[in-house]
Amino acid sequence: SEHPRRTLPFFKNMDKRNKPFTVIIEGNIGSGKTTLLNYFSKYRDVEVLQEPVERWRNVEGHNLLSLLYNDPARWSLTFQTHVQLTMLDHHTKETSAKVKLMERSIFSGRYCFVENLHQSKLMEPAEYAVISEWFKWITKNIDVDVDLIVYLRSDPEVVHKRILQRARKEEKTVPLSYIVALHEIHEEWLHEKVSHPVPAPVLEIDANVDLVEMLKQISLVENQILNKKA
C-alpha cells in the first residue's frame, strides 16, 4: 500500500482503447514486403514501421546480417536475439495513428526463422531453448497482439531470382534450398495453419506477380488492411 502498483503501458491488460489497428506483413525473403509498405506510406493516418534490416546491418558498427550469412552456426542466436529486440520495439511503439503496419513481427522471427535455423541444425539446442524462453516470456507478459496478418505468398524460385537480382551483398550466398525451407515453414504456419499459433486472421496476396500487378492487388484489399468499411 505504500507502493501503489503501477503498470507500464505496454504490459498486457492495459487500456486498449487507444491501440492502433495493427497489421503485420509476412512472407519469404524477397516477397515484396517493402513494396507493400511503401504503398501505404502516403497515408498520414498510417504508421509504417519498415526495414529493421538496416538496424541489423549496423549494431554499434557490427553488421549482424553479414556475420549471420558468413557463419550461420556461430551467429544465428546473436542475430535472432537482436531481431527479437527490434521487433519488440516495433510492437510496443506508441503512435497516434489509427493503423500500424509492421514489416514482419516477433512471431515470424520465432516461428519461421528461429525454427528453421533449429531444424537445419544451425542453432544449438541450448541456444534454441534460451531464445524460445525469451519469446514465451515476452508473448505472455507484453502486449504484442496483432489484428491482421498480410501474407505475401510466393514461390521460392521466384523470390530467389529477385534476391539474386537485387544483390544485397550479404545475401549473395543464400542458396535456393534455404529459401525453399523458409517457404515451407511460412506455408505451414500461415496457409495450412498446422505448425504454430496464428495470432490474427490472415489475408493472402499473390506475390509472384510483377510490381504493377502487385500494387493493383494491394489497392483491391486496401480497405481491409486499413480496417475501413468499403
Nearest to ligand DCP of 99, 131 (CB atom): 131
Q: Which of 2, 26, 60, 103 is catalytic?
A: 103
To ligand DCP, the closest distance from the beta carbon of 117 in angstroms equals: 8
Which is nearer to ligand DCP, 47 or 103 (by Cβ)? Answer: 103
Output 31 or 139, the one with its CB closest to ligand DCP. 31
Comparison of 25 and 99: residue with beta carbon closer to ligand DCP: 25
Provide, rounded to whole angstroms, the least separation between the CB of residue 19 and ligand DCP.
Answer: 24
- Closest contact distance (angstroms) between CB of 62 and ligand DCP is 15
Is 60 labeled as catalytic in the residue annotation?
Answer: no
| Reduced 3-state DSSP string for the chain | CCCCCCCCCCECCCCCCCCCEEEEEEECCCCCHHHHHHHHCCCCCEEEECCCHHHHCCECCECHHHHHHHCHHHHHHHHHHHHHHHHHHHHHCCCCCCEEEEECCHHHHHHHHHHHHHHCCCCCHHHHHHHHHHHHHHHHHECCCCCEEEEEECCHHHHHHHHHHHCCHHHHHCCHHHHHHHHHHHHHHHHCCCCCCCCCCEEEEECCCCHHHHHHHHHHCHHHHCCCCC
Binding site for ligand DCP (CB under 6 A): 27, 29-34, 53, 65, 68, 80, 83, 104, 109, 113, 171
- Provide, rounded to whole angstroms, the least separation between the CB of residue 83 and ligand DCP: 4
* Catalytic positions: 103
